[in-house]
Amino acid sequence: MGILTTYRLRLARKRWRIRAFRKRRELTPVVSRVMNIRASDLLLVSTIRNEKVRLPWFLRYYRDLGVNHFLFVDNDSDDGSREYLAEQADVSVWTTKHSYKRSRFGIDWVNWLLMRYAHGHWAVVVDPDEFLVYPFCDTRPLRALTDWLDASSIKSFPAMMLDMYPKGPISRSPYQEGQDPLDIAHWFDSGNYTMTKNPSYGNLWIQGGPRARMFFGDTPERAPALNKIPLVKWHRSYAYVSSTHMLLPRGLNFVYDEWGGEKASGCLLHAKFIDTFAAKAQEEMDRKQHYANSHEYRAYQEGMAASPDFWCKWSEKYINWRQLEILGLMSKGNWA
Amino acid sequence: MSVGFVMLCHTALDRAAQVARHWAAHGCPVVIHVDKRVRRRPFERMRRDLEGVADIRFSERFSCEWGTWGLVAATQAASSLMLHEFPGVRHVYLASGSCLPLRPVTELVAYLDGRPRTDFIESVTTEDVGWTVGGLNIERFTLRFPFSWRKQRRLFDGYVRLQRNLRFRRRIPKGLVPHLGSQWWCLTRQTLSAILESPDRAEHDRYFQRVWIPDESYFQTLVRQVSANVESRSLTLSKFDFQGKPHIFYDDHLQLLRKSDCFVARKIWPQADKLYRTFLSADLGKQAAAEPNPGKIDRLFAKAVERRTKGRAGLYMQSRFPKSNWENGMTAAPYSVFQGFADLFENFDIWLGKVAGTRVHGHLFAPDRVQYAGGETVYNGALSDSAGLRDYNPRSFLVSLIWNTRGERQCFQFGPDDVQDIAPFLARDPNAQISVISGAWAVPLFHANANFGEIRKEAARMQKIEAEYLDILRGANVKAKVRIWTLAEFVENPMEPLQTIIDEISPRSLRRVTEAPRMADLAGFGQFLQNLRNQGMQPVLMGDFPAGDDPRPQPSRRGRPYLVK
């Protein structure tokens, strides 16, 4: 990498940081309990809109992993999400009516909260339908992982998105508040992912899974990206560039080994496809606030209208992280 | 009171205190050294915590940066204090703050009582160690290291390089033979005091102060001078990963640790409550007086290191994406690619599946859709049959298919009518067994019901594509197992090549192939080629088929005229 590229990326990083700094004015605190954050706390940052149904399980899941404090940006919910979050003792909430799209799909807001509150902390950045699974997550808390990463001088931890879906049409098994969405959507595609290296940012570009299989057969280049780096030992000079797919400085994107070995990695179980999805897709279509002119949602809507069943006879039923490791979707690396 | 513990602590002081208390309660004196870099408050808390406990002492504090002399100075001070304060101690056991006893203290005492004059210290000559990271073995003793390896890596490396280039060498003091080994040892009073009270100690200390990582060499080297009975192994179970960092034990290692029969393990995660609760409890089950046997744990960690350095062959995923030539297996398993066979033989796939007992696909790279075996639309691992998805990244498609079907050999047809992008990858992959009957694509054309002008054009196109493919297969850096026959050669004697291929696919089936696939009718094929020539197209890839002289397979048993023997 030449000096010129380095400098260009440095400018890009500064630009994203300045942008995030300016977007801070869009956030109005609802409840701020940030003074309770202790130096060693694990943080979680998330942007939500009308996710009341999902939140109880989401909070429970990450509390069980050992997250100490949650930082939420509420993008103008009207279903009581904001009020619900404000009641939680380990949650700080900001709200905004500004455009999700013009905040680069929430990432400017997230960058700001990270810059302001997560400096020196391990931070998880996920959506409310994403559930982090990492090696030994059934026996070791998240803190064990971050301690190990610290000891190994690793600053970012990758977790590929794994789209989960139910068997049969998604509208068939309704989701109840507080329920584990993986009770309903526990099937996934085990081996139809494609990956290429992004030469400028160094991250891997992973696509595939049920969404590509069902909706993007003719336009595979438009299939959603599945590579994510949701767990980072944050420094205030870092910035997420595009969702949590890639970061700057680019060294944080080198979460894969290029010399034949396997680094440690996890998976983000993406329980998007439950019965709340159809309504969500419609709403997002109307708001036109999503990536690439909501192309993704348009494709879903067309697909959903026909026969919304992702399941096929080669779908795998989710059991635990060890299964994902054996299938080669994640790896323990040298953690044992 | 035959064994005393020296503990070097720098973090998780509460856990260290808990272990110290455990040892003291079982009658073993403990001397604790706390890193000078630990702040006053946590240190005072630990002191207060252990105030009432008899037989616990705190030694003079040194700053212990990794790889520096401070660790040795701390050990010396604490050991001296131990020998001085507790005259009853016969063995001194050096442990860290993140060590945990796995067996009752009485068992350790009994074990040491049985070996009253043995020094347990790993001590290996520099030529024999395989575990040093960074390639510094003997150079640890002959170069100077004024820069911090952790904080000034570039200066460190540069200075080492400079000294190498200048052939700089420090003189090793007379009589010393450099030895290395784990820093966690258990020495007898005699040995330890001989080292600490040696008349040459000042000289030794001065020398070792500038040795790289002296805590792995000071006692390990000097013990050879004074001890008559060195048992070169550590009583502490401590495993290192490929970067030289110690592996950490968690709650889920409980059963492994129990079965290891080791006396002390490090390093324990401070929040492994279950481990601390179990191993520090009073009613730790009495075990037979077994020798330490960390075999299982060794294997576990060896596997982790192998996974980190070599990975799983043929796997491409979010945290393993090898550069070209570093794949250590471009695909997960051997597979076979057949070109021209399905054109020449009728129902070749069914025949092959039966004879070789493998999965036989059609043209996986057909332009319209992926032709999986059995006409499936979705295949193993939920791979789609969409040509668009496949052609978006043909390489990912193929390696995924081979990875998903580990344990079952895959065969597929390939041909000039298919999407050719995958060809260079196939040629480079040592797992690919590629068999080509060149020019066989002309057989379906020969049978086709189409205008000759179209056939001629099609033939020219196919020939061009296949010629390019063959060029790739004949390239210089081809790693695949490639076999190429011309159509004429193959028709002459089809059984032998078929047998060779089948033997390679399933080497264990010793049966000869008895039933041969049925060959397409080639009567008039020579004339067909001549017609192409007459139209101005030169068919070259199928070999020599004289017009009018039709290839006649040896007539076999009556009634099955086209059966090839």
pLDDT of the residue at B212: 85
- Residues in A closer than 8 angstroms to B400, CB to CB, are 191-194
Report which secondary-structure segment, H or E, holds B510.
none
Predicted confidence (pLDDT) at residue B268 exceeds the cutoff of 70: yes
Is B310 in the A-facing interface, judged by CB distances under 8 Å?
A: yes
Residue written as token pair 């100077």: B144
Query: Contact at 8 Å (CB) between A177 and A53?
Result: yes
Tokens of A1: 């990498």
Residue B426 pLDDT: 95
Q: Is there a contact between A262 and B380 if contact means CB atoms under 8 Å apart? A: no
Q: How far is CA A306 from CA A80, A208, A297, A301, B303, in A?
A: 32, 21, 14, 9, 48
Is B45 a member of any domain? yes
Tell me the pLDDT band of B557, cut-offs 50, 70 and 90: very low
The radius of gyration of chain A's CA atoms, rounded to the nearest angstrom, is 19
Q: Which residues contact B501 (CB under 8 A, 6 or more apart)?
A: B336, B433, B435, B483
Q: At what angle do helices B273-280 and B13-25 cross, to 10 degrees?
A: 10
Per-residue pLDDT band at B565 (split at 50, 70, 90): very low
> Residues A95-127: pLDDT tens digits?
999 988 888 889 999 999 999 999 999 999 999
Q: Chain B contacts of A208, Cβ < 8 Å?
A: 389, 396
User: What is the pLDDT averaged over residues A254-273?
Assistant: 94
CB atoms B245 and A152 under 8 Å: yes
Answer whether B216's CB lies under 8 Å from B180's CB. yes
In a domain, B563, yes or no: no
Distance from CA of A315 to the nearest CA of B (A): 6
Backbone phi, psi, residue A14, to 5°: -65, -40
Residues B246 and B287 in one domain: yes
Confidence label for B40 from pLDDT (cuts 50, 70 and 90): very high
Can you give the pLDDT at residue B560?
A: 45
pLDDT(B77) > 70: yes
Q: What is the per-residue DSSP string for A72-141?
A: EEEES--SSHHHHHHH-TTEEEEEE-S-TTTTTTTHHHHHHHHHHH-TTSEEEE--TTEEEE-TTTTTS-
Residue A178, Cβ neighbours under 10 Å: how many?
11
Q: Burial level of A328, CB count in 10 A (0-12/13-18/19+)?
A: buried
Q: Are B290 and B261 in contact (CB under 8 A)?
A: yes
**What is the separation, in whole angstroms, between the first and last Cα of chain A?**
34
pLDDT at B549: 62
What pLDDT, in 10s, does the model give residues A199-231? 989 999 999 999 999 888 889 999 999 999 999
Output the six-digit token pair for B390. Answer: 């496949």
In a domain, B361, yes or no: yes
Q: How far apart are CA B49 and CA B52, in angstroms?
A: 8
SS3 content of chain B, % helix, strand, coil (to 5): 40, 15, 45
B14 within domain boundaries:
yes
In the predicted structure, residue A23 carries a pLDDT above the cut 60: yes
Rounded Cα distance between A80 and B193, Å, is 73
Chain B residues touching residue A159 (CB < 8 angstroms)? 318
SS3 state of residue B30:
strand
Among chain B residues, CA nearest to A329: B317
Helical H segments across B218-294, by residue range: 218-226, 254-260, 273-280
Alpha carbons B242 and B255: distance in angstroms, whole number: 24
Residue B272 Cα, gap to closest chain A Cα (Å)? 9
Last residue of a domain, one of B252, B274, B309: B309
Sequence length of chain A is 336
pLDDT in tens, A277-292: 777 777 777 776 666 6
Which uninterrupted H or E stretch holds B458?
A: helix B452-473
Q: What integer best gives the mean pLDDT of chain A?
A: 90
How buried is A24 (Cβ within 10 angstroms: 0-12 exposed, 13-18 middle, 19+ buried)? middle
Strand B383-384, strand B378-379: pairing: antiparallel
ipTM confidence: 0.92
Give dist(CA A322, CA A328) in Å, integer: 10
Assign A299 a pLDDT band (cuts: 50, 70, 90): low
Contact B496, B516 (CB under 8 A): no
Is the CB of A263 less than 8 angstroms away from the CB of B396?
no
Q: Looking at the structure, do residues B339 and B256 belong to the same domain, yes or no?
A: no
Nearest neighbour of A204 by CB, restricted to B305, B307, B318: B318
Nearest to B206 by CA among B321, B72, B50, B307: B72
Q: Which of residues 230-259 of B touch A (CB under 8 A)?
A: 241-243, 245, 247-248, 250-252
Residue written as tokens 């020599």?
B544
For position B558, what pLDDT does the model report?
41
CATH number for B462: 3.40.50
Q: Does residue B202 form part of some domain?
A: yes
- Write the burial class of residue B530 (CB in 10 Å: 0-12 exposed, 13-18 middle, 19+ buried): middle
Beta strands in B401-513 (DSSP E): 410-414, 432-438, 481-486
Rounded CA-CA distance A111/A116 in Å is 9
Task: Please list the alpha-helical segments (H only) found in A160-207.
Answer: 181-184
Average pLDDT of the segment spanning B39-55: 92
* Cβ within 8 Å, pair A332-B243: no
Q: By mean pLDDT, which of B56-65, B123-132, B189-198, B199-208 is the weakest? A: B123-132
Residue B400 touches chain A, beta carbons under 8 Å: yes
Does position B1 have pLDDT exceeding 60, yes or no?
Answer: no
Percent of chain A with pLDDT over 90: 76
User: Is B541 within the bounds of a domain?
Assistant: no
Tell me whether the omega of the peptide bond preceding residue A249 falls within 30 degrees of 0, making it cis: yes
Q: Are residues B262 and B153 in the same domain?
A: yes
Q: Using DSSP bridges, classify how beta strands B119-120 and B230-231 pair: parallel, antiparallel or unpaired.
A: parallel
Q: What are B233's two structure tokens?
A: 């192994």
pLDDT score at B561 = 43
Which whole number is the average pLDDT over B476-484?
93
Are β-strands A43-48 and A69-75 bridged in parallel, bridged antiparallel, or unpaired?
parallel
How many Å apart are CA B68 and CA B66, to the nearest integer? Answer: 6
Q: How far is B385 from chain A (nearest CA, A)?
A: 9
Give me the domain span that covers residue B388: 335-534
Residue with more model confidence, B292 or B338: B338
B86 pLDDT higher than 80: yes
Chain B: give the shortest CA distance to residue A330, in Å: 7
**Domain match, B285 and B346 both:** no
Alpha-carbon distances of A279 from A9, A70, A190, B4, B118, rounded to whole Å: 39, 27, 27, 70, 75
Query: What phi, psi does A239 have (nearest 5°)?
Result: -155, 135
Q: How far apart are CA A108 and CA A242, in angstroms?
A: 10
Query: Which of B351, B369, B368 is CA-nearest to residue B360?
Result: B351
Domain boundary among B309, B326, B345: B309
How many structural domains are present in chain B? 2
For A221, nearest residue in chain B (alpha carbons): B392
B411: which strand partners? B336, B360
Check pLDDT > 90 for residue B467.
yes
pLDDT at B132: 59
What is the percent of chain B with per-residue pLDDT over 90, rounded to a whole number? 56
Least confident of A81-95, B173-187, B549-563: B549-563
Chain segment B113-160, per-residue pLDDT in tens = 999 999 999 998 877 766 655 567 788 888 888 888 878 889 988 998
CA–CA dist B139, B170 (Å, integer): 9
Residue B544 lies in a domain: no
Positive or negative: CA dihedral A236, A241, A245, A250 = negative
Q: Does B375 touch chain A (CB under 8 A)?
A: no
Which pLDDT score, from 0 to 100, does residue A293 have? 57
> At B420, phi and psi to the nearest 5?
-95, 0
Alpha carbon distance B336, B348 (integer Å): 14
Among the partner residues B245, B318, B386, nearest to A265 by beta-carbon distance:
B318
**Of B259, B294, B309, which closes a domain?**
B309
Arithmetic mean of pLDDT, B175-200: 91
Q: Is residue B72 part of a domain?
A: yes
Over residues A184-193, mean pLDDT: 93
Q: Are residues B287 and B339 in the same domain?
A: no
Mean residue pLDDT across chain B? 88
Which of A201-215, B236-250, B462-476 is least confident?
Answer: B236-250
More confident residue, A276 or B84: B84
